[in-house]
Chain A
Amino acid sequence: MPLTSLAGETGATLVGRVVFRGTVPPPEVVTVTRDPKTCGETRTIQPLVVHPSTRGIQNAVVSIEGENTSPNTDTTKTTAITNTQCAFSPHVEAIRVGTPLEVRSHDPVLHNTHIMTGKRTFLNVALVPGGHPVAKVIKMPGLYHVQCDAHVFMQGSVVAFDHPYYAVTEAQGDFRIVGVPAGRHQVTVWHETLGALHHEVTVPAQGDVSITIEFP
């Protein structure tokens, strides 16, 4: 079913929470061999961040399948990934096709922000201390993997959509997508280690719809 309206103008709001009921695997502890002053002596890598009381998963990407390929008219918006203390902030980013993705660094050490989609490089740029940020417009929807080759424990993701119906879950696992057109929709949730999950939802013309999506 084609989604024709623009988010934010009309339609309902889809709110919800993505939760994890299973046992969270222990984090991986990595010894830092380069730039420990900036990066720390060790890093604790836990891609599955589950809130202790809500069981909500942070950094899951929720989207509604649609055929709205209406061009992105908001050319003022930039989405940024910042290298800070040897991590990508945010760790997971969702972006609308047509938006510039800016990469920058606040760290006093060399990072290279290397973004791949499949086997093709989207961008691989050196960010030297005090150097310039780099921006490039994302033109294709899909999953982009972000890494720093100088510090291999630095990993991140960008998911690009050709429609405006997406959100990244917050610390308690919550998300909110506004302006959703009425009708039956397929909601997709993606998480970097848990993979993808689909969920049907029926949205009325106005008001809020609330859903809870459970992994696994």
Chain B
Amino acid sequence: MAMRRRLMTLSATILAIGLAATTVLAVKPEGNRATRENGRVIYERSCLFCHGAEGKGDGPAGWFIGRYEAPHPRDFTSEGFKLRSTESGSLPTDQDLFRTVTRGIPGYMPSFAGLTETERWQVIAYVKSFNPAFQTETPAPLLLGGPAPLASPTSIETGRALYVRFECQACHGIDGRGDGPVSEAGDLKDASGLRIFATDLTRPLSFKNGSSPQDLVRTLMTGLDGTPMPSYAAQLTGKEDEAWYLAQYLLSLSSGSFP
């Protein structure tokens, strides 16, 4: 566990650097053969080591990541995606993939903000070619509607009440430390049947899907596919304020320790 924590802190730094570079978007190259071919070259240099030559998540890194330890690098050919703006079970949008590649995944995948934006789009076009579903499905982002209300003691208190009413504590624990009874019992599994843990919500820099209020609302609306973290969209649609209050409460859990 201590080892895992250290890893996370290290990549949190990478994440912070990654974020700075995401603001301007270069013109996205067309998703044609030349783009994919350029993407393949980048993939083989930067991604193959973990995700494998055929995108099956079985690159040489697996030799020391540990066969039974989650998460495995994503298998692009058959698995869904955790980090999306789309409804549960949908593929991610291109923007979602761009965000993932740019930011990386704290603790598990480095940020690729060092690639130019064009290179990132190219590698994304190549990654998408591993799964034919990208040809037939048209993922659409969920609308997160409405501006964020200001955080106040009342909004945070409302967020806490929602946390309890939505039984987040079953998995994340009443204090959000990731020690809910279902997680402690070892009942949580990912899409490969490997044991995973509910996130410690007091450590926002470890969040894979980001930790701004917008990021948290997105996580709550979409859920993380391939994990037990469910979508709360049906319970929050039309009640955007509640989603923001919940996000504000989550951020308040770390306001003491968070720089």
Q: Residue-by-residue, is A121-153 near B (CB-CB < 8 Å gives 1, otherwise 0)?
A: 111111010011110100000000000011010
When C-beta atoms are compared, the residue in chain A nearest to B229 turns out to be A124
Cβ of A112 under 8 Å from chain B: yes
Q: Which residues of A contact B165 (CB under 8 A)?
A: 128
Q: How far is the CA of A40 from the CA of B167 in the complex (A)?
A: 19
Cβ of A171 under 8 Å from chain B: no
Tell me the smallest distance from the CB of B29 to a CB of chain A, in Å. 28
Q: Which residues of B contact A136 (CB under 8 A)?
A: 88-89
Within 8 Å by CB of B191, from A120, A123, A150, lies: A120
Cβ of A118 under 8 Å from chain B: yes
Within 8 Å by CB of A150, from B78, B79, B171, B223, lies: B171
B191 touches A126 (CB 8 A): no
Partner-binding segment picked from B37-45, B204-212, B231-239 = B231-239
Tell me the smallest distance from the CB of B89 to a CB of chain A, in Å. 5
Pair count A-B, CB < 8 A = 88
A122 touches B166 (CB 8 A): no
Q: Which residues of B contact A120 (CB under 8 A)?
A: 78-80, 89, 191, 225-226
Q: Which residues of A contact B139 (CB under 8 A)?
A: none
Tell me the smallest distance from the CB of B222 to a CB of chain A, in Å. 10
Tell me the smallest distance from the CB of A35 to a CB of chain B, in Å. 9
Q: How far is the CA of A115 from the CA of B89 in the complex (A)?
A: 9
| B window 148-206: CB within 8 A of A | 165-167, 170-171, 181-182, 185, 187-189, 191-192
Cβ of B230 under 8 Å from chain A: yes
B230 touches A114 (CB 8 A): yes
Tell me the smallest distance from the CB of A180 to a CB of chain B, in Å. 31
Known: A110-B170, A119-B80, A128-B167; 16 extra A-B contacts, CB below 8 A, are A34-B182, A110-B166, A118-B78, A119-B75, A119-B79, A121-B226, A122-B89, A123-B88, A124-B89, A125-B223, A125-B232, A126-B166, A128-B165, A128-B232, A150-B170, A150-B171
Query: What's the interface size class on A, roughly?
Result: 20 to 34
Tell me the smallest distance from the CB of B190 to a CB of chain A, in Å. 9
Cβ of A33 under 8 Å from chain B: yes
Q: List 22 A-B contacts (CB under 8 A).
A: A109-B167, A110-B170, A120-B80, A121-B225, A122-B89, A124-B88, A124-B228, A124-B230, A125-B231, A125-B232, A125-B233, A126-B223, A128-B235, A133-B234, A136-B89, A149-B182, A149-B188, A149-B189, A149-B230, A150-B170, A150-B171, A150-B228
Q: How far is the CA of A118 from the CA of B89 in the complex (A)?
A: 12
Cβ of A116 under 8 Å from chain B: yes
Q: Residue-by-residue, is B216-259 near A (CB-CB < 8 Å gives 1, otherwise 0)?
A: 00000001011111111111000000000000000000000000
Q: How far is the CA of A115 from the CA of B80 in the complex (A)?
A: 12
B191 touches A116 (CB 8 A): yes
Q: How far is the CA of A123 from the CA of B86 in the complex (A)?
A: 12
Tell me the smallest distance from the CB of A133 to a CB of chain B, in Å. 7
Within 8 Å by CB of A112, from B80, B226, B230, lies: B230
Q: How far is the CA of A126 from the CA of B232 in the complex (A)?
A: 5
Q: How far is the CA of A126 from the CA of B171 in the complex (A)?
A: 12
